[in-house]
Amino acid sequence: MSDNFVAIVGRPNVGKSTLFNRLTAARTAIEEKVPGVTRDRLYGMSEWCGRNLVIVDTGGITFGRVDELSTMVRRQVEVAVDEAKVIIFLLDGREGLTALDEEIAGLLRRSGKPVIPVVNKIDYHDMESARYSFYSLGFGDPLPVSAAHGRGTGELLDMICSLLPPPEAEETSDFGDIIRVAVIGRPNVGKSSLINAILGEERVIVNQLPGTTRDSVDTPFLYRDQPFILIDTAGMRRKSKVKDNVEYYSVLRSLKAVQRSDLALLLLDGETGITEQDQRLAGYVDEAGRGLVLVVNKWDLVRGEEAARETYLNNLRRLLSFVPYAHVVFVSALTGWRLEKIFPLVINTWQEQHKRIPTPLINELLEDAVAVNPPPTVKGKRIKIFYATQPAVKPPTFVFFANEPELIHFSYRRYLENRIRDSFDFSGTPVVVKFKRRQRRGE
């Protein structure tokens, strides 16, 4: 899978976070009419015309200031620009072209990446003349949008997809399907050590210093005649930036690896427990629809193994309750303890990702589920679910056809997902449950 990263770049307070929230259909980014609110990069998923996109929100760029915060934000933007396939250069239609916009244009021009000039805050058609002053930036026709109201965002997504490289063909080998496994985790949790222990040789650099790995490293190997590619993820761009907060630079690399993988091994530290960064990474894997195996590393350093394991598991299931399907395995990359347990779980997860359930069996389950717990009446309307089917795998996707799909509550979607898992397993992989309106004959 290609890495369809799209970076939103611009000076402070032009509406980058508002556009990010609009494109990702979420409210992840903080929106305030105060410059400099966004400091770290934020990432969100979007789908348009069959293409999966990762939208990257960045902090507002300033030049001339040498304080630590401005320098950090600038570096964040540079990393996002470097990794992006397409750049949205967001401009303010109400304030017009500024000297800072022209300086940022120079930075983006040197990147060599496709740049879409987008003029924000054009709420009405008669305001579109404001975009003409931005032609001088030399990026072609400025696209007028209103991030706050959604105006023009569909055309923007069309333009993004037209500039992306064609989707990569599925990779196969003489042995059959290649299973691509991303090894992700926060810096210094043991990603490279785990890969070296699996491969039995020094195929990637291992160092106690966080951020040693510079770029994602793809390593092919065979396990029981099944071809795999292990993708080791980078912590940051180069060693000179270790003095910065390396977690800023690790998330984008992990996301790139997840996008190119079938499933992910998320390494957790057996000593330190679950962190917010671990929760974010697990959330990205789930949102991307990839399989997930939670690998608790450094377990050789934990004393009272059985009691400690139970405590750790309870805490893990509480903090990562949004991925209850994930396999969990306790290992030590340093000593090789229980590493042989990982790949049977990986193969099981891959098989569950590709499992198809015959339509008659799905509808038998639906009939029983509705009989036990019928959909509630909403606003005086009785919800009826007529039939269901599984149109896709990786992740397994189930579509239920109903008379009022928009009234079905999230809790009922979760109920049906749990019934599907109880009957058909799907351990290790997300399951997508969708509702659509049943079309009548002649429609």
What are the extents of the domains in the chain?
5-163, 172-353, 359-437
Element (H, E) at 224: none
The tokens for 49 are: 């015309």
Q: Using CA atoms, how far apart are residues 174 and 151, in angstroms rounded to an integer?
A: 49
83 vs 280: CA distance, rounded Å: 19
Q: Token digits for 55?
A: 């939208």
pLDDT of residue 66: 61
Average pLDDT over residues 81-85: 86
User: Do the Cβ atoms of 221 and 199 come closer than 8 Å?
Assistant: yes
- Please give the backbone phi and psi of residue 210, each rounded to the nearest 5 degrees, phi first: -60, 140
SS3 of residue 44 by DSSP:
strand
CA distance 117 to 159: 11
CATH code at 5-163: 3.40.50.300
**111 exposure class (CB count in 10 Å sphere: 0-12, 13-18, 19+):** middle
CA of 406: how far to CAs of 46, 143, 165, 437, in Å? 20, 32, 35, 9
pLDDT tens-digit map of 13-42:
999 989 998 998 754 443 444 444 344 456
194-237: per-residue pLDDT in tens? Answer: 988 888 755 454 544 454 444 456 788 888 888 888 887 754 33
Per-residue b or e along 360-384, where b marks 16 or more CB atoms closer than 10 Å to that residue's CB? eebeebbeebbeeeebeeeeeeebe
Q: Are strands 143-144 and 115-120 parallel, antiparallel or unpaired?
A: parallel
Decide: 157 and 4 in contact? Cβ < 8 Å: no
Amino acid identity for residue 12 in this structure: P
DSSP-derived 3-state class of residue 170: coil
pLDDT at site 138: 93
Tokens of 132: 């003409």
- Check if 5-163 and 172-353 are the same fold: yes
Task: Give the amino acid at 392.
Answer: A
Neighbours of 141 (CB within 10 A): 11
Give the closest residue to 243 by CA, choosing from 78, 71, 81, 80.
Answer: 71
- Residue 200 contacts by C-beta under 8 Å, 6 or more apart in sequence? none
Q: Can you give 389-436 as a three-state secondary structure string?
A: EEEECCCCEEEEEECCHHHCCHHHHHHHHHHHHHHHCCCCCCCEEEEE
Examine the pLDDT at 377 and tell me if it is beyond 80: yes
What distances in angstroms separate CA 101 from CA 90, 146, 432, 442, one per listed residue? 9, 19, 42, 53
DSSP E strand stretches across 239-285: 263-269
Lowest-confidence segment of 7-16, 350-359, 364-373, 433-442 by average pLDDT: 433-442
**Can you give the pLDDT at residue 432?**
95
Q: Is the predicted pLDDT of residue 82 greater than 90, yes or no?
A: no
Pick the CATH number of 359-437 from 3.30.420.40, 3.30.70.980, 3.30.300.20, 3.30.420.80: 3.30.300.20
User: Are 111 and 87 in contact, with CB atoms under 8 Å apart?
Assistant: yes
**What proportion of the chain, given as a percentage, has pLDDT over 90?**
51
Contact at 8 Å (CB) between 139 and 115? Answer: yes
- DSSP for 283-296, written as a single string: HHHHHTT-EEEEEE
Distance (Å, whole) CA 26 – CA 130: 28
Q: Give CA–CA dist 368/420, Å, rounded.
A: 11
Range 172-353: architecture per CATH: 3-Layer(aba) Sandwich (3.40)
